[in-house]
Amino acid sequence: MSHHREVVTALGAPAAVGPYSHAVRSRGLLFCSGQIPVDPDSGELVGDRPGDQARRCLENLSIVCAAAGTDLAEAVRLTVYVTDMDAFGEVNDAYESFFAGDPPARVTVGVARLPRGAKVEIDAIVAMTD
C-alpha cells in the first residue's frame, strides 16, 4: 500500500457490489465510491422514489465518512447520477436536507442505467477533519 493513500472499509455500510473500496483517503481528502440506495442490513435496494433513494445514498455516504473519521457535511464535491432527469427537483429536496447551510459543489448526470436497477447513485469527495 502506498503511503499516499489508505483504503477505507466502512463496517455498517452496504457491501461493495464490485471490486472497489468504500473509499480511499489521500492527502487530506476522502474519495468515496458511488453509493446506490442499498439498505446496509438487508442488502436490498430501498425506496421507490428517486428522492427516497437519494436520501439512502447520502445516508450510506455518511456511514463511509464516519468510518474514515470525517463527516459528509465536510464534502467538497458530489456527483449525483440519475436515470430520470425529471426527478431532479425531488432529488434536490433530499439533497438539501443533508446540506442546508453551505452545500458542496455538485454535478448531476443523467444516465441510462445504474447497478441493480437503482434510480440514483451518489459519490463524494470529502475533506478530512483530523
pTM equals 0.94
pLDDT greater than 90 at residue 17: no
CA atoms within 13 A on the CB side of 107: 8
SS3 80: strand
Q: What distance in Å separates the CA atoms of residue 1 and residue 82, rounded to the nearest whole number? A: 34
Which value, to the nearest 10 degrees, does the dihedral of the CA atoms of residues 98, 101, 105, 109 take? 40
Mean pLDDT of the chain: 94
pLDDT of residue 130: 67
Q: What distance in Å separates the CA atoms of residue 98 and residue 80, rounded to the nearest whole number? A: 14
pLDDT of residue 18: 83
| Selection from 50, 123, 34 nearest residue 85 by Cα | 50
Task: List the domains of the chain with CATH numbers.
Answer: 6-127 (3.30.1330.40)
pLDDT greater than 70 at residue 2: no
Q: What is the mean pLDDT of residues 7-31?
A: 93
